[in-house]
Amino acid sequence: MSMKGDTFKHRGMRRKLVAAIREMEVTDEAVLSAIEKVPRHLFLDPAFEKQAYENTAFQIGAGQTISQPYTVAFQTALLELKKGEKVLEIGTGSGFQTAVLLELGVKVFSIERQRELYNKTKPLLTEMGYSAKLFYGDGYKGKEIFAPYDKILITCGAPFVPDALLEQLKPGGIMVIPVGEGRLQEMKRITKNGDGTIEEVNFGTFSFVPMVEEKH
Ligand code: SAH
């Protein structure tokens, strides 16, 4: 879609960013073209417009970060999305990953536990013409009322795989989750088989802000 505040110059920077991601061996062309469509600079403070098209994570307020574009591409590719699927995202943050998912033609349900970010991202996505169901709440609980989900994507570092999220995954569904207690996590793709058994494959080390547990 064409968007206010997105220019020829930005699209040029985006093409370069996508070329850099492709060189890091993300080969899913549907995912790369979705990333090429989303004006990442509109998800950051205008003062950081230039940084928006560098392949790095960046601050978005409330001590949180927008994920590195490569990481967004990598996680999204692991989900093996098909149009029309229901996707639960944990950690809405800036909304950039949400927008990339929507460009791939899936239905997105996304949870954010920082109220400041939820309040900022909800109107931003709407203004950009993106339509997702956004919730302020605790990602460890998932969102039971809209379950089950074809795919579940966790965009913060989880100390363990939350049971509620496994339960809300459809048989045949895929969950992509970085798991680890410290600064680094192991990227896992968890598949729930038709008979309910679980398979897990590791995809290397990444670094996310922590998935925060309830204080009480
Ligand atoms: N997908 C985001 C990534 C933001 S970083 C983007 O593209 O910008 C991860 C986000 O997860 C942060 O905004 C953080 O506040 C949120 N988060 C951390 N713990 C959470 C929890 N328990 N439930 C929901 N969101 C959580």
What lines the ligand 1 site, CB under 6 Å?
Answer: 64-67, 90-91, 93-94, 96-97, 111-114, 117, 138-140, 155-156, 209, 211-212
2 pLDDT more than 70: no
State residue 48's pLDDT score.
92
216 pLDDT more than 70: no
The tally of domains found in the chain comes to: 1
Q: How many beta carbons lie within 10 A of that of residue 214, not counting itself? A: 8
What CATH number has the domain bearing residue 83?
Answer: 3.40.50.150
Q: Which helix (H) or strand (E) holds 10?
A: helix 8-23
Q: Give the range of the structural domain holding residue 186, as residue numbers without chain letter.
A: 60-206
State residue 1's pLDDT score.
53
Domain assignment present for 16: no
Domain assignment present for 150: yes
**Ligand 1 atom nearest residue 156's Cα:** 9
- Residue of 67, 94, 110, 131 with catalytic role: 67
Active site residue 2: no
Distance 97 CA to ligand 1 centre (A): 11
Domain assignment present for 174: yes
Domain assignment present for 186: yes
Which has more pLDDT, 50 or 177? Answer: 177
Q: How confident is the model at residue 215 (pLDDT cuts 50, 70, 90)?
A: low
Distance 158 CA to ligand 1 centre (A): 10
73 three-state secondary structure: helix
Q: How many beta carbons lie within 10 A of that of residue 65, not counting itself? A: 18
Which has more pLDDT, 1 or 52? Answer: 52
CA 137 to chain centre: 16
130 pLDDT more than 70: yes
Span 161-170, average pLDDT? 97
Span 46-68, average pLDDT? 93
Distance 8 CA to ligand 1 centre (A): 31
97 three-state secondary structure: helix
**Ligand 1 atom nearest residue 93's Cα:** 13
Distance 43 CA to ligand 1 centre (A): 14
Domain assignment present for 118: yes
List the residue whose alpha carbon is closest to atom 11 of ligand 1. Answer: 91
Domain assignment present for 216: no
Domain assignment present for 17: no
> What pTM value is reported for the model?
0.97
Instruction: Please write the tens of the pLDDT for every residue from 87-124.
Output: 999 999 999 999 999 999 999 999 999 999 999 999 99
Q: How confident is the model at residue 86 (pLDDT cuts 50, 70, 90)?
A: very high
State residue 4's pLDDT score.
83
CA distance 9 to 14: 9
Domain assignment present for 212: no
